[in-house]
Amino acid sequence: MSAGQTGKQRSQRIQIDYFRHRGGLFYLRCGCIVAGLVAAGLYGALVIGRGGGSHLSTGPLAVVHVSFENDCQQCHQDFTPLASDAFRIDPESSVSHTEQACQKCHQVDGHHRDLLLADWKMVDQNCAICHADHQGRQRDLTAVVNPLCSQCHSDLSKVCTANRSPVVRDQVSRFDLESHGDFASLKSDPGRVKFDHRQHMLPGQVDPGSKGAMTVSMLEATRREQYRRAGQGNDDLVSLDCSSCHQFAGNPDAHVVLAGDQELGRYLKPISFDQHCSACHSMNPPGRTEDTLPLPHAAPWSEIGLLLQTKIAGLRQLGTARSPRDDTQPAPIPGEGFGSAANNVSIVSAAEVDVALKAMQVQCLKCHDSASITDEAINTALAGTSTPLIPARWLRHGIYDHAAHRKMDCRYCHADAYPNEAMSSSPPDDHQQVMIGGIETCTPCHRPADVAEPEGLSDLFSGQPTWASDDCILCHRYHTSVGVKR
Amino acid sequence: MLIDRSQTKLHVAFAVPAAILLIACTAYYASESVDAGRAVGGGSKSGLLCGIVAGAIILFEMLLWPRKALRRLRLIPAKYWMAAHLWLGVVSLPLAIVHCGFHLGGWLPTTLMVLFVLAWISGVYGLVVQNILPRWMLSNLPAETIYSQIDYVSGRTVDDARQMLLAACGRSIKQQRQSVDEEPELVASTAIVVGALRQAGKTSGRTLQTKSVSDAREDAEALWAAFAEIEPFLLSGGHAKVPVADRQKASQWFSRLRSACSERADAIIDSLEGMCDQRRQFDTQQTVHRWLHFWLPFHIGLSVAVTVLLGVHIWTALKYW
């Protein structure tokens, strides 16, 4: 370039219309826009066209619902919120749809819905509040966190009508004596069977050194093996422990059935005379022999009377019992001879039966009060319409799982059922005393995760950690079976 | 868009409301989650609010496109658009994450979130490089020119070098043997115009200067041979495998050239060395330019995809709420 060039020539060192030229950046931008539009558009069309499935799911369904993973309409209705926390324009129909969707398979009743205020009725109705799905395959839909319970129970006066139960505390926000309170069901003992736990836990069921100790040979022959300890002979003393009478069972209470409450081990079998008492306390008629069948337990007195009558007559026929005026002797007595037999040995008078019945009643009253052994009481008990003499469930508002606590020594919660010096001279009062520990026996282990282990618990589980969840659902169930009132 | 003290008022005017919006929505969400005892989902009142705000921001961000297409209408100064685009875009991602309830969900929301995160990251990357690289170029690349004109300017530089050599040395023997018609018009002159470094304050730049040329005919063969060697580099930069492509090797190469030529050729050699240095700066500029601008097509493409999928997400989320 010569020095004499013009300004125009100099300006041409840059193309004056350079900005009109579209370089690679422009074409790359166009390509990216087209690629974005096409790819996203095709994918969107695919999603809408296929109707959702895993493309729309906010997360995998829990394993129990996996069969309709790709069938959204099983639960969802178009433009009707189902999620527990969804904002709803028409809440009543939306929540009702949710409940209907769940009730297709899960028929359970609500939770005191008749006592709830209108807004909270819908909370009760909205299954998804507590059972939110789409949280992953391993999500336990029944694992309900405490805040979901305390949203109502922290102040029931805001949630319920004035007709709510006075038994349930208005404000419960955590599991301790102060907030939760002690177990209301354990305030009094509704039992009506006289039973001395202490005495039965002693070897031979008598105080040490006393006469009349029960040996294995004194048990019903067919039941001896049930109570014989390893290495015991027939002359050894019978030694009982808790499991001799208490075996694991599901919820034995027919009146209250809580969802999921019938699993084996949650409760103990109801005490049954035939299973748990009769080996020692069989109801024997007079003149009993080894072959004599015991009388039935809890039979109407008319039936017992008839059985006694036939047994007495039978015994007379066998010669092991005498008639009232039978003074026959096997050898002649001087001046009297062999005596004279009764005229009709097969007839047992009513007076004779009454005497036998009274003897039987003495046996009954050893464990029962007089009101419990009337014909009426026995008939209602047999019909299952009366209150059991021993409660089937002691914690009536919650669930206690004996199986889960089987590694613990029973006396941790039932200390009063064991022999101790304080009880040695007292009359048996087990039917007046609740022998179950209160909330103070639960809270040392069932505590918030961030609370340290209290002193003295280290031996409870042989040195293992003692922390256990304090979740409400561990003991309480929200639902009942359909039609069952709590 | 630059973020520096000169722009404080502009950025504060948008950053503060955006931060307040984020804090308010997040606090509302946190409050509802604490009450529920878990992180509530996108369908909850607070989750939905966060989602609506995030979605509205995404749509607003996309308005930058029509605004640019309709720039002749002068719809609010671009700096306000950019500041709003920047700060609202920054808070949109946290809002979207809160809206999700901190989990990705199915393939559609996951794809949408992944694309959105990529678009957000590309935008933040663009913001960072635009605040760093231009300043660096201003101080380190004084020979910088218009990116699209690098090849053109390089061609003119080669012409300048040829003119300079012709003025100083005349034609080489090889050129004299070739047909004159094949060569461009060469005008013998004692002065030439070359690019030279000028500094004004802290800023330096390449300017055109007229320099006198001394007679270096005795070194004509050496200079023309040197020019022939560096010409491919001057035209196409680092693609040419020549010693002068590397700064250190170039310095040694030109030192040897000076020692092979007389002192009268020094000015010519200095100019040739300056031209090589300019070409190396052009190469660096090309690399930096790619770092500086190539994020934008991806940012736009991702944003377009996000907007389309956002529409699908809104429709399907409402349908299967």
Q: What average pLDDT score do residues B86-97 get?
A: 93
Residue, of A465 and A310, whose pLDDT is higher: A310
Which member of A21, A48, A80 has the closest CB to residue B312?
A48
Contact (CB<8Å) B148/A86: no
* pLDDT band, residue B116 (cuts 50/70/90): very high
Query: What are the chain B neighbours of A56 within 8 Å (beta carbons)?
Result: 106, 108-109, 316-317, 320
Residue contact B106–A1, C-beta within 8 A: no
In this prediction, residues A455-459 reach a mean pLDDT of 76
Mean pLDDT of chain B: 84
Contact A78 B319 (CB under 8 A): yes
B25 or B220, which is more confident: B25
Enumerate the H helices of B141-265 as residue ranges.
Answer: 150-169, 173-177, 220-236, 247-260
Supply the pLDDT for residue B264.
82
Q: Do B152 and A40 count as a contact with CB atoms less than 8 A apart?
A: no
Least confident of A83-92, A283-292, B46-55, B165-174: A283-292
Mean residue pLDDT across chain A: 81
C-alpha span between A313 and A244 (Å, rounded):
37
How far is the CA of A130 from the CAs of A86, A147, A285, B300, in angstroms?
13, 10, 60, 42
Averaged pLDDT, A306-320: 81
- Answer with the residue of higher pLDDT: B116 or A208: B116
Nearest Cα of chain B lies from the Cα of A379 at a distance, in angstroms, of 52
Lowest mean pLDDT of A55-59, A227-231, B239-243, name the range.
A55-59
Give A90 or A285, the one with higher predicted confidence: A90
Question: How far apart are the CA of A143 and the nearest CA of chain B, in angstroms?
Answer: 13
What b-and-e string marks burial along B217-239, b requiring 16 or more CB atoms within 10 Å of the CB? eebbebbbebbeebbbbbeebbe
Secondary structure (3-state) at B210: strand
Q: Which band of pLDDT confidence, cut at 50, 70 and 90, is reported for residue A238?
A: very high
pLDDT at B179: 53
pLDDT band at A77 (very low <50, low <70, confident <90, very high): confident
At B142, the pLDDT band (50, 70, 90 cuts) reads confident
Answer with the residue of higher pLDDT: A425 or A268.
Answer: A268
What is the structure's pLDDT at A352?
84
What's the full length of chain B, in residues?
321
- Residue B36's pLDDT is 74
Computed from CA positions of residues B59, B60, B61, B65, in that sequence, does the dihedral angle turn out positive or negative? positive
Give residue B267's pLDDT band: very low, low, confident or very high (50, 70, 90): confident
Contacts of B111 in chain A (CB under 8 A): 43
User: pLDDT-derived band of residue A459, with 50, 70 and 90 as boundaries?
Assistant: confident
Rg of chain A over Cα atoms, rounded to whole angstroms, equals 39
Model confidence at A179: pLDDT above 60:
yes
- The tokens for A273 are 């005379």
Q: Write the residue in A3, A87, A151 that is nearest to B210 by C-beta.
A: A3
Residue B175 has pLDDT above 70, yes or no: no
Where are the alpha helices (H) located in A104-238, listed in sequence order?
A: 118-125, 146-153, 197-201, 224-227
List the structure tokens of A21.
Answer: 């030229």
Which pLDDT score, from 0 to 100, does residue A2 have? Answer: 46
Could you count the other beta carbons within 10 Å of the beta carbon of residue A71? 12
Burial (CB count <10 Å: 0-12, 13-18, 19+), residue A396: middle
Token pair for residue B158?
Answer: 């080669």
Q: Please give, rounded to a whole number of angstroms, the shortest distance from the CA of A32 to a CA of chain B.
A: 4
A343-357 per-position pLDDT tens digit? 655 677 888 888 888
Task: Choose the closest CB to B297 out of A13, A25, A39.
Answer: A25
The predicted pLDDT at position A34 comes to 95
Beta-carbon separation of B107 and A55 below 8 A: yes
CA distance B196 to B271: 9
Q: Name the pLDDT band for B98 (thresholds 50, 70, 90).
A: very high
Measure CB to CB from residue B308 to each of A41, A79, A134 and give the nearest one.
A41
Cα–Cα distance, B117 to A225 (Å, whole number): 74
Stretch A415-421: mean pLDDT, rounded?
A: 77
The predicted pLDDT at position A288 comes to: 63
**CA angle at A85 for the pair A143 and A98, rounded to the nearest 5°:** 80
pLDDT number for residue B183: 53
Determine what percent of chain A is predicted with pLDDT higher than 70.
Answer: 85
d(CA A393, CA A256): 10
> Which pLDDT belongs to residue B8?
84
Over range B265-286, report the average pLDDT.
Answer: 89
Residue A226 near residue A240, CB atoms below 8 Å = no
Chain B: give the shortest CA distance to residue A136, in Å: 9
Closest CA to A201 of A54, A417, A352: A417
pLDDT band per the 50, 70, 90 thresholds, residue B23: very high
| Residue B252 in tokens | 């040694």
Give the model's confidence band at A207: pLDDT under 50 very low, under 70 low, under 90 confident, else very high.
confident
> What region does A319 belong to: left with phi over 0, alpha with psi -120 to 50, or beta?
left
Which residue among B108, B149, B301 places its CB closest to the CB of A47? B108
Q: What is the pLDDT of residues B33-73, one digit of tens each?
A: 888 777 887 878 899 899 999 999 999 999 988 888 888 88
Contacts of B30 (CB under 8 A, 6+ apart): none
Burial of A159 (0-12, 13-18, 19+ CB in 10 A): buried
Distance (Å) from the alpha carbon of B36 to chain A's nearest alpha carbon? 6
A441 to chain B nearest CA, in Å? 28
* CA B198/CA B174 separation, integer angstroms: 37
Average the pLDDT over each of A118-122, A202-206, B179-183 and give the range with the smallest value. B179-183
pLDDT above 90 coverage of chain A, percent = 6
CA distance A246 to B262: 118
Give Cα separations from B239 to A54, A151, A406, B8, B272 (angstroms).
Answer: 50, 72, 82, 43, 19
Contact A59/B193, CB-based, under 8 Å? no
Query: Could you say which of A32, A44, A86 has the minimum Cβ distance to residue B321?
Result: A86
The answer for residues whose C-beta is within 8 angstroms of residue B251's C-beta and 6 or more apart is none
User: What mean pLDDT comes out for the span A150-157?
Assistant: 88
User: Is pLDDT of B188 > 70?
Assistant: no
Q: What integer is the mean pLDDT of A245-273? A: 70
> In the predicted model, what is the mean pLDDT of residues A270-291?
77
| pLDDT tens track for B156-171 | 888 888 888 888 887 7
What is the separation of C-alpha A319 from the centre of its chain, rounded to a whole number of angstroms? 54
| Interchain proximity A43–B309, CB inside 8 Å | yes
Pair of tokens at residue A164: 């709510």
Residues of chain A positioned with their CB less than 8 A from the CB of B106: 53-59
What's residue A1's pLDDT? 45
Count the helices and strands in chain B (H runs, E runs).
11, 2
What integer pLDDT is reported at residue B287 of this predicted model?
A: 92
Question: How confident is the model at residue B182, as a pLDDT?
Answer: 54
Nearest Cα neighbor of B99 from B58, B127, B157 is: B58
Answer yes or no: do A32 and B301 touch at CB < 8 A: yes
Amino acid A61: pLDDT: 87
Do the Cβ atoms of A83 and B41 come within 8 Å? Answer: yes
Greater confidence, B208 or A145? A145
Give the predicted TM-score (pTM) of the model. Answer: 0.62
Of residues A434 and A331, which shows the higher confidence score? Answer: A434
pLDDT in tens, B282-305: 999 999 999 998 899 999 999 999
Element (H, E) at A470: none
Q: How confident is the model at residue A42 (pLDDT cuts 50, 70, 90)?
A: very high
